[in-house]
Structure 1
C-alpha cells in the first residue's frame, strides 16, 4: 500500500472492528476504481493483476495488459504524462476500451488513480458512457489527508517539484486559490467534491466509498473480494520495492537535483530516463530505509488543518447518499505527534546507488561518435552551456535506441 513515510507506526490489525457483510455487485458490473492517489491503489492493482487468471475462473476479468493502465487513464482525462514521459494518446484509451468490451457480459474491474484527475462533468460523463454507461459502478478509496500529504509531496518531487515540504504546505493550505505549484492536488484530494463529480454521472446508488483503515493492511483487498464476489484471500499483496516512498533525505536530495536540472535548462526527457527511471528507481529497488532514517513529518498546524478539511469532506460525502464502507471519522484523524525530523543525511550507499542508476540508464543507450568539436574550446565555454550541451547529447543518444 502507498505509504506516507519511511515507516508506519500505526498498529496493525489491533482493535479493528470486523468488516460488515458486503453483498457482491451484480454480475456484469464494470467496477471502476478511481483512487485517488496514495489510498492503496498500487497494492490493489498489483493484487488484481497477479490474480487475473484466478479471477477469470470466478467470472471476473481484469481487462488490461499491465498492472496499471496509466496512459489510458491520462488520455481519457486529457491530462499530461509525468515529466519527460511520452504524451499519452487516444490509442491508449481506445485499446483499454476494446479490452473492456471484449469481456462481454462478465464482471470486470478497471483501476487507475488518474481517473480522479478528471476535473469536469463532461469528461466524467464521457468516461462512464464509454466504459458501459449504466453497467459502471464507481469505487473511491480514501485515507486521511494528514497521511496523504507527505506521501503526495514526495511523489510530486519525483515528478520535478522543487519546493520544500513546509513551503508546499503553506501554498496548499494557506495561500488561496491553493492551486500552485501543484494544481492536481485538490482536484484529487478534495474528496467530497471528487465523489460528487462522479455521483452526478452515475447517481449515488452506483458509487461506493471505502475509507481505508491503515491498521488493517489486508482490509482493502478483502473489500474488493467481497464487491467482486471472489473467494476470500484470492487477492494477495504483491511486494513492490519500487513503490515505496522516499525518505526525507532521499526526497531532499532529489529536490535539490530538480533545482539544478531546471536551472541548467536540461531536456525533460532526460529527467524521465536518467533521474526518475534511472537514479530514483534503482535507489528504491536496492536501498531499504533504515529505522533511523528521518521521516517526512507534517507540522501540527498543517495536520490540524487537513483534519478539518477531512471532517468537511466526510460530512459532504454523507450528504450525497452514497454507500460508505469503513469509518468516516478516520478521514478527520490527526496522526500522533512525532518529534521534528532531524537534519536529513543520506547514506553513502544510497547516494552511490542513485548515481549508479543514472549511469546504468545512460549506458543502456548505444554509444556513437559525437559530432566534431566546434571552434570554441571547452575552456572558453561557460559551465552552464557545457551542462546543456552534455544533456542534449545524452538525450540524442537515448533517442537513437
Structure 2
C-alpha cells in the first residue's frame, strides 16, 4: 500500500466530457495499470453505484439495495493500489455535502487526494442540461427552463434548479470539496470552445493526472454531439404525447436510439440550429459568469486552461420560439424515414432468424435419422416369398379375375 500516491477524483460537472473521459479510462484500464495508473472499477458503471452510496441518494425515486457498501469497496481498491496514481470519475459527486466530501477523501487515503472539476460556460451548460432533461422524459420548454434558472436560482422547479446550480456552479460545488482538501489540490479544468473541445478537455485532464497520450487509444471513444433546436423540440413534443407510457422502454428507444443516434447524427448539417440562451438573458448571463470567474480566482484553486473560457460567447440573436413548423416537419419526416428503415431491417433480421431456426430443426432431424439403426426387413421378404394382397390370382389381375 503506497502512502505517496496521488489520487485524482473527478467530481463533475455533468455534460462537460465526463462520459467520454470515463469511457477512455475504462477501455484503457489495462494499459494505464501497466504504467502505474489505477482506474478502480470492476465494471464500467460501478462509479454510479458508488456515488449513490456515498451520497445516500435515490435515483428516479428508487434506491437499489445493491448500492450499499459499493463506495467502501471502491475505496478499498484505491487504498490497496501499489502504483503511484489513481483516477476516479463520477460527475454526480459534485453534489456531495461537506461531510460526504470529507468522508470520501478520508476513505481513499493514505495518499494525496486531488479534486478535479471540469467547467464550461453557463450558456452552453444551460443548453446542454435542458437537452439532457428532455432526453429523460421532461417536457419543459427551453425558454421556461432558462427563465426559471435565471430568476429562481436553485429554487427553480424540481429537479431543474437543484440539478443545475447544485452540480454546474463551480463555486458552489467546490465550497464543499475545497473544505476537504488543501486549495492547491483543487483543480478547475476549463473546456475549450469549438468542435475540438472534447479532445482538448481530455488533453488537459490527462496532463494534470500524468497520463501520457500514447498510453490511451481514444479511437473508439465518442462524445454525443449536442442536439439542434428542432431536434430537441421534437423529442420534447414526443414526450408530451408519450407521458410515461413507455416505462422502461423509454431509455433504449427514445434516449439512446432516437436522441443519441438518429437525431444526434444531424449535428453540423445545413439547417442545424444551435440551442442558445434567449437574448433577454444575455446581460444577466455575462454578469453571473463574471461572478463565477471572480469567485474561482479568489478561492485560489489551480486553473488548468484559460479561465476566460468560462465567459460565454453570446454573439448573434437567439432563434425565435416556437421552432419554425417547416424545420420541425423536416426533422420529423427524416426520423420517420429512419425508423421505417430500422423496422424493415429488423423484420429482415427476424425472417432470417426464423429461417435459420427452421434449418437448424431440419438439420437436427436429419442428424437423428442418420444416427438411427437401419429398419429390419420383414419376415416375408426374408423367406423369399412375394407378398400378394387379398384376392390376388395367378394372373395378377385385381379382384381375382383376368380380362374376359
Moved more, 107-116 or 298-307: 298-307
Moved more, 245-254 or 312-321: 245-254
- Please give the alpha-carbon distance, in whole angstroms, between the structure 2 residues aligned to 1:276 and 1:56: 33
Deviations 1:258-309 (A, max 9, x none): 22333xx537434335433454355357766623222212212334322322
Give, in angstroms, the shift of residue 84 of structure 1: 8.7
Matched, 1:100 2:81: no
Matched, 1:62 2:39: yes
CA contact (8 A) 1:248 1:294 kept: yes
Question: Which of 274, 294, 319 is equivalent to 1:340?
Answer: 319
The corresponding residue for 1:123 is: 100
Cα gap change, 1:53 to 1:286, in 2 (>3 Å): same
Q: Any unmatched runs of 5+ in structure 1?
A: 1-25, 365-401
Deviations 1:70-113 (A, max 9, x none): 23223322333358996872254344334433424531101111
Give, in angstroms, the shift of residue 169 of structure 1: 0.6
- Please give the alpha-carbon distance, in whole angstroms, between the structure 1 residues aligned to 2:181 and 2:58: 26
The corresponding residue for 1:225 is: 206
The corresponding residue for 2:30 is: 53
CA contact (8 A) 1:195 1:317 kept: no
What is the correspondence of 1:1-400 to structure 2 with a 5 Å cutoff? 28-67=5-44, 69-81=47-59, 89-118=67-96, 120-132=97-109, 135-175=112-152, 178-181=155-158, 182=160, 183-215=162-194, 217=197, 218-235=199-216, 237-238=218-219, 243-262=224-243, 266=245, 268-277=247-256, 279-283=258-262, 290-338=269-317, 340=319, 343=324, 344-345=327-328, 346-353=331-338
CA contact (8 A) 2:20 2:222 kept: no
CA contact (8 A) 2:226 2:267 kept: no
Cα gap change, 1:151 to 1:108, in 2 (>3 Å): same
- Larger relative contact order (CA 8 Å, sep ≥ 6): 1
TM-score by length of 1: 0.72
Deviations 1:340-362 (A, max 9, x none): 255242142323445787997xx
Cα gap change, 1:306 to 1:83, in 2 (>3 Å): farther
CA contact (8 A) 1:30 1:137 kept: yes
Give, in angstroms, the shift of residue 146 of structure 1: 1.1
Q: How many residues align structurally?
A: 334
- Please give the alpha-carbon distance, in whole angstroms, between the structure 2 residues aligned to 1:180 and 1:224: 34
Cα gap change, 1:98 to 1:285, in 2 (>3 Å): farther
**Which structure is higher in helix share?**
2
